[in-house]
Structure 1
Amino acid sequence: MGVQRTSVGLDVHARSVVACGLNRETGEITERRLTPDHREILDWIGELPGPVAVTYEAGPTGFGLARALDAAGIVCQVAAPSKLIRPAGDRVKTDARDAAHLARLLHLGQITAVTIPTTDQEAARDLVRAREDCRGDLMTARHRISKLLLRQGIVYYDGKAWTGRHELWLRKQRFDNLSLQLTYDAAFDAMTACLDRRQRLEAAIEAMAADSEFTPVVRRLGCIRGIATLTAFGLATEIGDWHRLTGRTIGAYLGLVPSEYSSGASRTQGAVTKTGNGHARRLLVEAAWHHRAPYRPGTVLRRRWDVASPAARARGQAANRRLHQRWAHFDQRKKRSVVANMAVARELAGWCWSLAVLDE
Structure 2
Amino acid sequence: MRNNGIDCIVAAPSMIPKKSGVKIKNDRRDSQNLARLHRAGDLTAIYVPDPEDEAMRDLVRCRDDARHAARKAKQRLLSFLLRHGRRYPGKKNWTKAHYNWLSDVKMDHFAQQITLQEYIGAIEETNERVARITKTITTYVKEWRLEPVVTAIQALRGVSLLTAVVIVAELGPLTRFAKPTELMAYLGLVPSEHSSGPTIKRGRITKTGNGYARRALVESAWTYRFPARVTRHIRKRSDHLPMLIRQIAWKAQVRLCEKFRRLSAKGKPTQVVTTAIARELIGFIWAISQEVEPIGHLTEEAL
Q: TM-score, normalised by structure 1?
A: 0.76
Distance 1:178 1:90 in 2: 66
Is 1:304 paired with 2:224?
Answer: no
Deviations 1:161-192 (A, max 9, x none): 11232222223323232333333333222221
Distance 2:255 2:109 in 1: 58
Deviations 1:120-170 (A, max 9, x none): 111011111111111111111111111111111112232321123222222
Q: Which of 317, 331, 344 is 2:264 aligned to?
A: 331
Instruction: State the Cα distance separating 1:300 from its structure 2 match.
Output: 1.2
RMSD: 1.9
Q: Which has the higher helix share?
A: 2
| Bigger RCO (CA 8 Å, 6+ sep) | 2
Aligned to 2:165: 233
Instruction: State the Cα distance separating 1:297 from its structure 2 match.
Output: 2.3
Aligned to 2:52: 120
1:202-241 → structure 2 map (5 Å cutoff): 202-241=134-173
Is 1:277 paired with 2:214?
Answer: no
Q: When the two structures are aligned, how many residues end up with a matched partner? A: 292
Q: Which of 104, 116, 136 is 2:68 aligned to?
A: 136
Aligned to 2:114: 182
Distance 2:31 2:61 in 1: 30
Deviations 1:281-323 (A, max 9, x none): 1110110000001223221111001132221111111111111
Residue identity opposite 1:346 in structure 2: R
Distance 2:69 2:30 in 1: 36
1:33-182 → structure 2 map (5 Å cutoff): 69-90=1-22, 98-99=30-31, 101-182=33-114
Equivalent residue of 1:134, what SS? helix
Deviations 1:226-274 (A, max 9, x none): 1000001111111112112112221111100000001122111100000
Q: Which has the higher strand share?
A: 1
8 Å CA contact 1:209, 1:229 repeated in 2: no
Alpha-carbon spacing, 1:91–1:147, altered in 2? closer, same or farther (3 Å)? farther
Is 1:290 paired with 2:195?
Answer: no
Distance 2:26 2:107 in 1: 57
8 Å CA contact 1:291, 1:320 repeated in 2: yes
Residue identity opposite 1:133 in structure 2: D
Residue identity opposite 1:254 in structure 2: L
Identity over the aligned pairs, expressed in percent? 37
Residue identity opposite 2:79 in structure 1: K
Distance 1:264 1:329 in 2: 31
Task: Return 306-315 or 92-101, whichever deviates more.
Answer: 92-101
Q: TM-score, normalised by structure 2?
A: 0.90
